[in-house]
Amino acid sequence: MPKKVGQLRPGRGKAVVVRSVGVEEELLLVDAESGEPRALSATVLAAASREAVRKDKNKVFEAELQREQLEFATRPQVAMDGLAHEIRRWRAEAARHAEGLGAAVAALATSPLPVSPSIGFSERYRWMGEKFGLTVQEQLTGGCHVHVSVGSDEEGVAVLDRIRPWLPVLLALSANSPFWQGQDSKYGSYRSQVWGRWPSAGPVEVFGSADRYHEQVRELLGTGVLRDEGMIYFDARLSHRYPTVEIRVADVCLDPSTTVLLATLSRGLVQTAFRQWQKGEPPARHGVALLRMAVWQAGRYGLEHQLIHPLSMRPAPAETVVRALFDHARDELEDTGDLVPAREAINTLLATGNGARVQRELMERTGNLRNVVKECVSRTQG
């Protein structure tokens, strides 16, 4: 049984550990009138920091690679209601700080309107800009990172090995970046294409042990291509800051309820993988090249077409694959009390669509990407 990773609760006739979950979201700062991205993160962060000091509270917001972005991190939560409250609270706080500057925040994984991003002021970001050139210049993308607590690195790597084929399904659920530089990219998640330009991004091999995982990280850093461990951009990794598995594959979600669903399913996947490891069940040995195909398919179509089924690695309707993920994690969702809410959230998402579908429907209805951004600003608050 994992230690110090959550709370004990009754479940299916036994006591179960309910793991804590935290979320990091990257929001886009836009002009309140035009919808165009604005490089205001330093000013917003300064205002938020002064208020935190005045009220003797912890700082929640952080700078990101580009000055048109703002990131926040929730506190670890066991109950999904608590996580939902945190997400809405910090989105609203970000919006309040931006409003004082004539700006707004939008949970968009790429900017629908044309933009020339501005690299952050830190020495680290300047190093990245010099090292990676145009990749950094174009890297205005917003992700959602879900942290799920684990009891040890060995446990965490066992989880990473077993959740690999399911990560593309999380990307499809979250897809929220159909537009790029004023054009329809034809992708549900064009962010996944832009993000994939980093040399350390994407699916990874089966590691087999924590020692092998850390050896691989050391080997990557030893090449000199990456500055530090924070640039290990695997689709899922061991967090270098917290005792968690960090699932990084998803777009930032337009509606906060989708973020909660993503976190719920991520925790279910982690606990399911842990149980498989406990029972001695080996991970699937799908190759990295095959997993890249699944990630590409999820990024291209989101929930609108076929996905690659994680068990057969063959095409199947998106709804079939999403429900397969739900069934895969069903027992653990039941133990945590998330079975019914997760089912209802999936049904709603399949019926109304993810952020990519919503953005395209707004564009079709209004004929104007500025109106798309304005509506998404409103929907960011849920």
Residue 158 falls inside a structural domain? yes
Name the domain count of the chain. 1
Residue 305 falls inside a structural domain? yes
Residue 1 falls inside a structural domain? no
pLDDT in tens, 305-364: 999 999 999 999 999 999 999 999 999 999 999 999 999 999 999 999 999 999 999 999
Q: What is the mean pLDDT of residues 179-206?
A: 97
Residue 46 falls inside a structural domain? yes
Residue 3 has pLDDT above 50, yes or no: no
Contact 275, 332 (CB under 8 A): yes
Cβ-in-10-Å burial (0-12, 13-18, 19+) of 222 comes to exposed
pLDDT in tens, 195-237: 999 999 999 999 999 999 999 999 999 999 999 999 999 999 9
Round to whole Å and give the CA distance between 245 and 242. 8
Residue 139 falls inside a structural domain? yes
Q: What is the mean pLDDT of residues 64-90?
A: 96
pLDDT in tens, 21-72: 999 999 999 999 999 999 999 999 998 888 887 876 778 899 999 999 999 9
Residue 7 has pLDDT above 80, yes or no: no
pLDDT in tens, 284-307: 999 999 999 999 999 999 999 999
Contact 203, 291 (CB under 8 A): yes
pLDDT of residue 15: 65
CATH number, domain of 206, equals 3.30.590.20
Contact 297, 171 (CB under 8 A): no
pLDDT of residue 382: 74
pLDDT of residue 11: 58
Q: What is the DSSP string of 101-122?
A: TTEEEE--SS-SS-----B-SS
Q: What is the mean pLDDT of residues 269-288?
A: 97
pLDDT of residue 52: 80
Round to whole Å and give the CA distance between 121 and 41. 10
Round to whole Å and give the CA distance between 179 and 29. 16
Angle (nearest 5°) at CA 242 between 237 and 244: 50
pLDDT of residue 51: 85
Mean of per-residue pLDDT scores for the chain = 94
pLDDT of residue 13: 56
Residue 1 has pLDDT above 50, yes or no: no
Q: Give residue 57's domain range.
A: 6-380
Round to whole Å and give the CA distance between 62 and 50. 13
Round to whole Å and give the CA distance between 346 and 326. 9
Who contacts 380 (Cβ-Cβ below 8 Å, separation ≥6)?
27, 91, 95, 105, 106, 107, 254, 256
Q: What confidence tier does 2 reach under pLDDT thresholds 50, 70, 90?
A: very low
**Among candidate residues 195, 156, 200, the one with its CA nearest the CA of residue 174:** 195
Residue 140 falls inside a structural domain? yes
Residue 312 falls inside a structural domain? yes
Residue 130 falls inside a structural domain? yes
